[in-house]
């Protein structure tokens, strides 16, 4: 037996050494025949010889339909449920044996591959090697001898070697020529160059970069397949970013890598796609645990968060403590804080574009996790192999039953806490020209915090998107999107005043985006979108018969927002790329509606209402139309440095009304209407980008100046809830924001991370002709989120293949607050008098977080791959000030400092993949 094994081992080596090209393809229907008979039949028709021990194969029956399958797949299918293994020698001799005796590592690997249903081993191995050899071969493109050609075009498809999927957004760079392109939606790329010798470098996130040596004679094709990055366990390859920050045209654009988001230490062990933004230069928040973020001096409602083209209104759970988007389902996330592509509009500070993953086309996969607050599970896989796939991700809390369990402690008296989010998609590749994708997303929160008020929040999104390419250069994406957000706050503590407070907003959006790639790296985008908004500003309805509250319902608002755009990205010279675009945006405020007419030349006051004008259904109350421009310029000084410039103007027609420091649970959305004019933002930014050590270290310096008009500010103590004449509470404001952002990133190596420093100011001013209603006497004052100095450091150290340490350090100036400037006694109560807004600051903020991730064992074959993450939030236990407030007590004024996290908060998370 030993000798036999030895012979076989030699045979394997021989086999490895002599991979053959001419594989045997078998077709035929074999139903209920003994294996032996099958062998006889095959031997008859094909040049194969089988060797076996008769008594070992007696019991095996063949029951199979073969259609042009290779010998290896055929055999592996037939022998799948038997104890038999087989070997094929170079002379197509098949040796069968009982498998146990031959557990060599080679064997295992082959069997694994077979089981996974991948292509045949030898083909795969062969073609992998062939693919790698492609890097060293010289590819002759076109026909020789046409000497008079000035330019020639190389075009082709970029494909994933393993599953044949198109690689979208892959970068193609011509070394030495300082030019390049990227692949489009179908993986197609096109490069026009003078004939000559080139080295083309192909790279893409998650893929191993590859190169091709090319002799370009005339127009021709070069299709390129790329392998997955093989460095880490399914991790995204950092090399993919080579050159990208130099090449990318937009200044103020930040691409967040999922790997980074996953490895950031977080408060509750939940990787967070929104909170992670706070580590980027120019992104701030007013306080920990609050919803929303501020980008370059913008308010929280000035960010458009797009999930697969669909705006999401409130991407938060638990009042903003963490975001409701499962990062596992996200392919990539890009924040545009400077120049926003002309394609997008409707918000004046930033666009956060989140693209979700599509399901795997080959096999069903999944991953999940357990963190202190939630359980999550993601599954994806094919519906029709290579054509249609699905992805489903769910997260939910299990805290409610835990609360029930410990309710007796009465600390959690009258407390409820539950939330879930579900998101996913179906992707159907009809053919090469057409692709349809259906996305959906639902998130819900339900909270009751030790009192009688129950908060319920609901977000729902759905979109149907159709990609169509007319030909290689011209494609269109058309999508229909729906998004809604609403809350219901039920207070039933006192039966007499029991009520529900309801607010909801929904939008229906239709958009179509054309992309045309003409000659010489010229990319033209144009399209249009229209959105119908419906906002229920608020209604309060009594609950139960005992409630004596009168229902109060504020009239529903309706509007159409529209945009038409065109933009062109082209290379003026090989070093200079320009993207110029215009966008025409506007809004139609639709009836039915009621407009109050006020006494002219006086502030809006309810006492000054002169008349009311009623508008009928579908009547246009007011039309807004605003031209916008976008310009981005990238000048590449050399392949390691570039200067970029951008300027952009944007308008915003929907606003969050909030006169609290952070977005509060009862804040509402409001459309621009007859009186509430759209907000306008204009920004100029300039950036210098420099890479060092062969792009291992990226540095950037960006500076911006931004003007904001018609920002919504509020009169002191404004009542924004259930108010049907909001214009009496709102003052338009102007804002100016400026800053400098510096960052250093190291994206590769065992130690990677980034360091960013931001200096920024945001100043606001009331813009009103009436001095009496101007805040701070009409002078500029700092916004509540104006934190001039910001330092963030994120570092990730790979200690070994299984251990990873990450650290997160944040420092920022304290936010401004208002101090009292006097006190007085009124009806025996000491009242504090406040005057000018935001003239003081809370103490500076500092936090250090650490996390240690332990990967499961490195065995290739196992049921699940598990990862434990231990993290400590605020490891120094610093009592960071959340707010400072003052109360009058007897004759004294007492200041209080409120801090939320006075201690270090440890969490453990378990994540798994299968």
C-alpha distances (whole Å) from 461 to each of 307, 321, 443, 485 are 9, 21, 9, 9
Q: How far is the CB of 62 from other proteins (least distance, A)?
A: 53
Return the number of the residue (46 or 411) whose C-beta is nearest other proteins.
411
| Residue 786 C-beta: closest distance to other proteins, Å | 14
486 vs 503: CA distance, rounded Å: 5
The radius of gyration of the chain from alpha carbons, rounded to an integer in Å, stands at: 32
- Find the shortest distance in angstroms from Cβ 845 to other proteins: 14
Tokens of 574: 């090989």
**In sequence order, what are the beta bridge partners of 611?**
597
Helix (H) or strand (E) holding 111: helix 105-115
For residue 531, what are the β-bridge partners? Answer: 509, 561
Residue 861 token pair: 């074959």
Residue 23: CB minimum distance to other proteins, A: 56
> Is 744 or 872 the residue whose CB approaches other proteins more closely?
872
Contact 2, 9 (CB under 8 A): no
Asked if 911 contacts 367 with a C-beta cutoff of 8 angstroms, the reply is yes
Q: Which residues have a Cβ under 8 Å from the Cβ of 428 and sit 6 or more positions away? A: 387, 388, 435, 436, 437
Q: Which is nearer to other proteins, 330 or 817 (CB)?
A: 817
Q: How far is the CB of 794 from other proteins (least distance, A)?
A: 22
- Contacts of residue 884, defined as CB under 8 A and 6 or more positions apart, other chains included, come to 817, 842, 895, 896, 897, 898
Of the pair 481, 762, the CB lying nearest other proteins is at 762
- Other beta carbons within 10 angstroms of residue 237's beta carbon come to 21
Listing DSSP states for 125-157 in one string gives HHHHHHHHHTTTSEEEES-TT-TT-S-EEEEEE
Distance CA 64, CA 35 (A): 11
Q: What are phi and psi of 3, to 5 degrees?
A: -65, -45
Distance CA 727, CA 731 (A): 8
Q: How far is the CB of 767 from other proteins (least distance, A)?
A: 18
Q: Minimum Å distance from CB 884 to other proteins? A: 5
Q: Which is nearer to other proteins, 145 or 716 (CB)?
A: 716
Structure tokens at 197: 């010798």
- Min separation Cβ 352 and other proteins, Å: 22
Which among 858, 693, 657, 683 has a CA at the least distance from the CA of 232?
858
- Tell me the DSSP string of 791-811: EEEEEEEE-SSSEEEEEEEEE
- Please provide the distance, in angstroms rounded to a whole number, between the alpha carbons at the two ends of the chain: 37
CB 709 within 8 A of CB 679: yes
Instruction: State the minimum distance, in angstroms, from the CB of residue 885 to other proteins.
Output: 4
Nearest distance, CB of residue 355 and other proteins, angstroms: 30
Residue whose CB is less far from other proteins, 287 or 345: 287
> Scanning the structure block, which residue is given the tokens 């020639």?
152
Tell me the closest approach of the beta carbon of residue 887 to other proteins, in angstroms: 7
Q: How many CA atoms lie within 13 A of 690 on its CB side?
A: 5
Report the residue number, 446 or 464, with the smaller CB distance to other proteins: 446
SS (H, E, C) 63-85: EEEEEEEEHHHHHHHHCCCCCEE
Looking at beta carbons only, is 836 or 913 nearer to other proteins?
Answer: 836
Evaluate whether 359 touches 352 at the Cβ level (below 8 Å).
Answer: no
Point out which residues pair with 453 in neighbouring strands. Answer: 491
Measuring CA to CA, which residue among 415, 502, 422, 404 is closest to residue 453?
415
Nearer to other proteins, 572 or 831 (CB): 831
Smallest gap from Cβ 267 to other proteins, in A, equals 8
d(CA 541, CA 503): 11
**DSSP secondary-structure letter at 37?**
H
Nearer to other proteins by Cβ, of 425 and 874: the residue is 874
Q: Which is nearer to other proteins, 534 or 836 (CB)?
A: 836
Q: Are strands 303-307 and 350-356 parallel, antiparallel or unpaired?
A: parallel
Q: Strand pairing partners for 419?
A: 445
Per-residue CA distances from 623 to 528, 591, 598, 671, 748 (Å):
18, 12, 20, 13, 52
Least gap, CB of 822 to other proteins (angstroms): 3
Q: Which is nearer to other proteins, 194 or 551 (CB)?
A: 551
> Residue 310 Cβ, how far from other proteins at the closest point, in Å?
28
Nearest to 837 by CA among 731, 750, 702: 731
Residue whose CB is less far from other proteins, 10 or 894: 894
Closest contact distance (angstroms) between CB of 390 and other proteins is 32
Rounded Cα distance between 554 and 726, Å, is 11
The least CB distance from residue 657 to other proteins, in Å, is: 13
| CA neighbours closer than 13 Å in the CB half-sphere of residue 177 | 19
Residue number with CB closer to other proteins (7 or 548): 548
Tokens of 643: 């200067």
Nearer of residues 724 and 839 to other proteins, judged by Cβ: 839
Nearer CB in complex with other proteins: 143/900: 900
Question: Taking Cα atoms as reference points, which of 357, 366, 361 lies closest to residue 330?
Answer: 357
Q: Between 499 and 558, whose beta carbon lies closer to other proteins?
A: 499
> Given the complex with other proteins, which of 852 and 893 has the nearer CB atom?
893
In the complex, the smallest distance separating the C-beta of residue 256 from other proteins, rounded to whole angstroms, is 25
Q: How far is the CB of 727 from other proteins (least distance, A)?
A: 16
């Amino acid at each position: 037996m030993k000798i036999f094994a030895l012979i076989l081992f030699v045979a394997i080596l021989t086999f490895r050494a002599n991979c053959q090209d001419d594989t045997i393809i078998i077709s035929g229907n074999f139903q209920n025949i003994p294996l032996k008979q099958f062998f006889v039949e095959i031997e008859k028709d094909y040049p194969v010889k089988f060797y076996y021990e008769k008594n070992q194969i007696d019991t095996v029956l063949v029951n199979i339909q073969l259609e042009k399958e290779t010998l290896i797949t055929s055999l592996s299918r037939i022998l799948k449920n038997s104890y038999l293994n087989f070997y094929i020698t170079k002379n197509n001799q098949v040796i069968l044996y009982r498998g146990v005796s031959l557990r060599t590592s080679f064997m295992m690997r082959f069997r694994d591959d077979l089981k996974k249903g991948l292509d045949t081993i030898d083909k795969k191995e062969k073609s992998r090697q062939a693919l790698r050899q492609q890097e060293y071969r010289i590819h002759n493109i076109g026909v020789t001898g046409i000497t008079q050609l000035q330019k020639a075009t190389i075009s082709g498809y970029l494909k994933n070697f393993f599953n044949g999927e198109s690689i979208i957004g892959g970068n193609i760079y011509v070394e030495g020529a300082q030019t390049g392109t990227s692949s489009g939606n179908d993986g197609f790329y096109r490069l026009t160059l003078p004939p000559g010798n080139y080295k083309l470098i192909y790279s893409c996130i998650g893929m191993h970069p590859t190169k091709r040596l090319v002799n370009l004679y005339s127009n021709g094709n070069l299709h390129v397949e790329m392998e997955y990055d093989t460095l880490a366990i399914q991790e995204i390859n950092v090399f993919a970013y080579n050159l990208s920050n130099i090449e990318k045209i937009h200044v103020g654009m930040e691409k967040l890598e999922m790997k980074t988001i996953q490895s950031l230490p977080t408060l509750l062990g939940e990787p967070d796609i929104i909170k992670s933004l706070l580590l980027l230069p120019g992104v701030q928040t007013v306080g920990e645990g609050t919803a929303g973020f501020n980008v370059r001096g913008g308010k929280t409602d000035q960010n458009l968060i797009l999930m697969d083209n669909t705006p999401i209104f409130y991407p938060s759970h638990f009042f903003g403590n963490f975001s409701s988007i499962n990062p596992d389902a996200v392919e990539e996330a890009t924040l545009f804080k400077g120049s926003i592509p002309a394609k997008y509009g409707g918000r004046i500070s930033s666009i956060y574009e989140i693209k979700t993953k599509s399901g795997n086309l080959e096999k069903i996969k999944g991953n999940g996790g357990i963190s202190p607050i939630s359980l999550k599970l993601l599954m994806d896989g094919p519906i029709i192999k290579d054509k249609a796939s699905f992805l489903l991700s769910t997260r939910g809390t299990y805290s409610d039953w835990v609360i029930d369990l410990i309710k007796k402690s009465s600390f959690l008296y009258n407390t409820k806490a539950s939330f879930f989010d579900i998101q996913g998609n179906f992707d159907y590749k009809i053919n090469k020209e057409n692709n349809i994708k259906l996305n959906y997303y639902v998130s819900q929160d339900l909270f009751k915090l030790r009192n009688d008020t129950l908060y319920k929040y609901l977000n729902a999104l759905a979109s149907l998107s159709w990609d169509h390419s007319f030909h290689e250069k011209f494609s269109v994406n058309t999508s229909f999107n729906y998004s809604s957000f609403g809350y219901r706050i039920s207070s039933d503590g006192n039966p007499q005043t029991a009520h529900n407070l309801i607010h909801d907003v929904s939008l229906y959006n239709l958009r179509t985006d054309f992309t045309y790639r003409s000659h010489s790296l010229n990319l033209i985008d144009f399209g249009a979108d229209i959105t119908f908004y419906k906002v229920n500003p608020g209604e309060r309805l009594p609950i139960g018969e005992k409630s004596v509250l009168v229902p109060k319902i504020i009239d529903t608002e309706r509007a159409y927002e529209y945009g038409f755009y065109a933009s062109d990205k082209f290379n003026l010279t090989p070093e200079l790329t320009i993207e110029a675009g215009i966008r025409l945006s506007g809004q139609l405020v639709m009836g039915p509606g009621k407009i109050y007419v006020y006494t002219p030349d006086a502030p809006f006051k309810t006492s000054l209402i002169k008349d009311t004008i009623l508008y009928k259904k579908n009547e246009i109350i007011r039309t807004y139309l605003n031209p916008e421009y976008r310009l981005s310029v990238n000048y590449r000084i050399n392949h390691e440095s570039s200067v970029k410039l951008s300027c952009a103007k944007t308008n915003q027609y929907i606003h969050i009304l909030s006169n609290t420091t952070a977005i509060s649970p009862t804040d509402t959305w409001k459309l621009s209407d007859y009186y509430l004019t759209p907000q306008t933002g204009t920004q100029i930014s300039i950036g210098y980008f420099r890479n060092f050590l062969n792009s291992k270290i990226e540095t950037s310096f960006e500076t911006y100046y931004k003007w904001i008009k018609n920002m919504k500010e509020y009169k002191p103590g404004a009542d924004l809830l259930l108010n049907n004449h909001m214009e009496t509470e709102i003052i338009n404001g102007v804002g100016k924001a400026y800053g400098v952002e510096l960052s250093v990133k190291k994206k590769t190596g065992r130690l990677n991370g980034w360091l960013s420093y931001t200096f920024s100011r945001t100043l606001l001013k009331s813009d009103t002709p009436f001095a009496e209603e101007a805040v701070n006497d009409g002078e500029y004052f700092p916004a509540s989120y104006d934190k001039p100095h910001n330092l963030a450091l994120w570092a990730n150290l790979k200690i070994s293949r299984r251990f990873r340490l990450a650290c997160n350090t944040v420092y920022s100036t304290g936010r401004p607050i208002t101090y009292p400037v006097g006190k007085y006694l009124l009806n025996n109560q000491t009242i504090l008098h406040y005057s000018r807004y935001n003239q003081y600051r809370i103490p500076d903020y500092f936090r250090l977080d650490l996390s240690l991730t332990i990967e499961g064992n490195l065995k290739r074959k196992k049921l699940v791959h598990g990862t434990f993450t231990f993290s400590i939030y605020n490891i120094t236990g610093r009592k960071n000030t959340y707010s400072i407030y003052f109360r009058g007590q007897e004759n004294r004024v007492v200041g209080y400092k409120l801090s939320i996290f006075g201690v270090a908060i440890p969490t453990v998370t378990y994540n798994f993949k299968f």
